[in-house]
Amino acid sequence: MKRVRSLTFRRPLACLIGAGLMAALWAGLPASDAVAQGTGKAETGGQAQPGKASPTPSDWRDPLRKFAQRKKKDERLPAKADQQPKEVVEADVSTRTIAVTSAFTGTEIVVFGSVVNSRQPSAEAGYYDVIVVLEGMPTPLLARRKSNVAGLWVNTESVAYESAPSYYAIASTRPIEEIADEPLLQRHAIGLDFARLAPAAQSVLEIEPAELKTYKDAVIRLKQKEGVFIKADYAVIFIGKSLFRAAISLPANVPVGPLTARVYLFREGDLLSSFQSRVRLEREGVELWLYRFAMKQPVLYGFFAVLLAVVAGLLASAAFRRRDTA
């Protein structure tokens, strides 16, 4: 009797496991899950526990199906305002190299660019502000003050600057005072008042800050009079939703050397992006030859200049003498 009972118990267990395997193959479930399901039924005597519904194959795939549907729904949702791509300014100059010869009378540089990921609806919207700065290499500078001494105007005081821009031009969509605050402009040296004029340490110790400010204003005024410090409001023009351009003139007396073009993109007083490019201002031809001769052989250059002046004077004297005798 004991052997018969064992056989009768194992037969339903094998039947349940086989049924579970067939159900797994039919529903696409892993076989191990089906075996565990069949084993659970066998331990309870092949009957479901009261109060619990037996799981069907579709119940196992419902969470995965819901997760996939939720993911597709999230992908279809539009991006929020704070997730929009950041605006970036990209720019370039019309020419990278400018030749300075004996016939150089000045030229013009066009700075153009675009706003990547622009949100501006039209060119006239005024959504962005652009400032273009063209700055020459820093050079030493000595500023002197003239005073009336016994009826004569002579140099009495002076301030030495370790570095001052040899050329500085700024163009903007509107006055820079309306674009950003002074601390931000000063931090990036934007504007004539914030140009990098560094006085020497000795001058800082000997002269009061108010006097230094007076000297700096005088230097800027004289540079503007020479035409090497330029400020042009409303000179940057948008020609589309993202495209802009600005034309900056270089006078004939611009110092030779590298120039740095900086472009700043603003919106509502905040600096969004900046870009920098280089322009080379180089001597060529006879101008370059005379410059190298004067720098490398100053004594011979002096003798040559004196000899040339003497020869020119003798030729002019001989020409006038012949015309008088005639």
CATH class for the region spanning 88-282: mainly beta
> What's the pLDDT band for 45 if we cut at 50, 70, 90?
very low
**How far is residue 30's CA from residue 37's CA, in Å, rounded to a whole number?**
11
- Residue 20: per-residue pLDDT: 58
pLDDT of residue 48 exceeding 50: no
Residue 274 pLDDT exceeds 90:
yes
The pLDDT tens digits of the residues spanning 295-322 come to 888 888 888 888 888 888 888 888 777 7
- Res. 234: pLDDT tops 80: yes
Q: Report whether 238 contacts 244 (CB < 8 A).
A: yes
Amino acid letter for position 309: A
pLDDT of residue 74: 57
Residue 73 confidence class, pLDDT cut points 50, 70, 90: low
Strands (E), the chain: 88-93, 97-100, 107-116, 129-136, 138-149, 152-165, 168-172, 198-199, 229-232, 237-238, 243-250, 257-267, 270-283
State the pLDDT at residue 235: 95
Burial class (CB in 10 A: 0-12, 13-18, 19+), 179: buried
What pLDDT band is residue 4 in, cutting at 50, 70 and 90? Answer: very low
pLDDT of amino acid 162:
93
pLDDT more than 70, % of the chain? 73
Residue ranges of the domains in the chain? 2-76, 88-282, 285-320
pLDDT tens readout for residues 100-148: 888 888 999 999 999 999 999 998 899 999 999 999 999 999 998 888 8
Lowest mean pLDDT, pick from 20-29, 106-115, 262-271, 290-299? 20-29
CB 237 within 8 A of CB 105: no
pLDDT of residue 70: 67
Q: Residue 59 pLDDT more than 90? A: no
What does the pLDDT read at residue 152? Answer: 82
Compute the half-sphere exposure of residue 237: CA atoms within 13 Å on the CB side of its CA.
6
Short-list 124, 199, 112, CA closest to 162? 199
Judge if pTM exceeds 0.85: no
**Model pLDDT, residue 203:** 86
77, pLDDT greater than 60: no
Highest mean pLDDT among 42-46, 61-65, 173-177: 173-177
Q: What mean pLDDT is reported for the chain?
A: 80
More reliable by pLDDT, 44 or 69: 69
Which of the four pLDDT bands, split at 50, 70 and 90, describes residue 149?
confident
Q: How confident is the model at residue 93 (pLDDT cuts 50, 70, 90)?
A: very high
Copy the structure tokens of residue 110: 């066009």
